[in-house]
Amino acid sequence: MKVYLDNSSTTRPRDEVIDEVCHMLKVQYGNPSSLHRMGLEVEKRIESSRKTIADFLKCDKDEIFFTSGGTESNNIAVQGIINKNIRRGNHIITTKFEHSSVLSIAKHYESKGLKVTYLDLDEYGMINLEQLEDSINEGTILVAIMMVNNEIGSILPINDINEVIKSKNKNTKIHVDGIQAFSKLDIDLRKLNIDTFSFSSHKVHGPKGVGGLYVKKDVILEPIIYGGNQERGIRSGTENVPGIIGFGKAVDILKEKYKKEAEDIKRVKDYFVKKIIDNIEDVKVNSLLDDRCAPHILNVSFIGVRGEVLLHYLEDNGVYVSTASACSSHGKGKSHVLKSIGLKDEEIEGAIRFSFSHYNTLEEIDYAAQTLEQSVKDIRRITMR
């Protein structure tokens, strides 16, 4: 049996999405910038996808821009805000457990002289709002923060964070990395009143190579990519048309199903974690198990077991998981996310991230739990010889 529990890394595209992508590749392959009919027809399809996604996120169509993925969306937003506002201030704020596509930017600009505050996290992956408030000053031009952490699933209170920011410095922009939150939480961008919001297609059963960025109407970004002025100059370069149309299809399906699917995923996760707690000794659940955690992410440390060894044991039996985020798995050293919430070295070394989708069945979860229990037992027996 094959059980895929790495859905925070990427998801299986829906059949309807694959059909749309194939159609665009085979039939509607015109360049949307072309002036002839084939180009105009494709441009209409792109605008239709844009409208579908804007409606889902409750914002205007003109506030949605297509990119090559979540990393590019974060780069365009964070660098775009910094470069546009650098003359007004020299300070940004982020957290210690952001995705590498945000942390790497912060470290790059820090090396160029920008002042960066990295907010602490508590054991649950929550920031201290007083530390945030104390960190904001007249020169703070940006706060970049994720809505859902990609390794442990903690949901950050964006409304409360935004209130603190705007009460201290109304000119400070806020960028929210929404990549793991998109389709798992109710998101109303008008009510959130944030400045930019990034999201990705392949995390929601769409194709890889396409993402999105919300930019509030009155926010101006300095472009980091120059060229043919596609996407109104925010992201020049020929659009990934099959990807965008596939993404639109994935979201069109989600608008009817995402709430029920999120509830189903949570039930599967709860069922799985109970089996772990009931049947495997010396484990530490690093994710919250209530509504402060996204429904699809579960992080667990198996004490005395190296996560990479366990991953390959599981893989040999058809169960696919991860030890960290896919974007960090090739990096050296321990997970910066688990370090940031104060885990001990042996807890970090034995950590596995399980992430679920609506495709997972209880039969699969029973098999995965049994395989996990036996694998942990075998590894501990070998290492204790």
What the block records as the tokens of 87 is 């003359």
Catalytic residue among 22, 59, 293, 327: 327
Q: Is 327 among the catalytic positions? A: yes
Q: How far apart are the first and last CA of the chain?
A: 31
Q: How far is residue 304's CA from residue 346's CA, in Å, rounded to a whole number? A: 7
Name the β-bridge partners of 302: 283
Q: How far is residue 223's CA from residue 238's CA, in Å, rounded to a whole number? A: 16
> Residue 202 carries which DSSP code?
G
Q: How far is residue 65's CA from residue 57's CA, in Å, rounded to a whole number? A: 13
Q: In the Cβ-directed half-sphere of 323, how many Cα atoms lie within 13 Å? A: 25
What the block records as the tokens of 188 is 């109303």
What the block records as the tokens of 204 is 């929601």
Instruction: List the beta strands (DSSP E) in the chain.
Output: 3-4, 64-67, 91-95, 115-119, 140-146, 173-177, 196-200, 211-215, 283-285, 297-302, 319-320, 351-355
What the block records as the tokens of 10 is 């990427």
Q: Where does residue 113 fall: left (phi above 0), alpha (psi -120 to 50 degrees), or beta otherwise?
A: left
The pairing of beta strand 283-285 with beta strand 64-67: unpaired
Q: Are 102 and 177 in contact (CB under 8 A)?
A: yes
Q: Catalytic positions, please?
A: 327
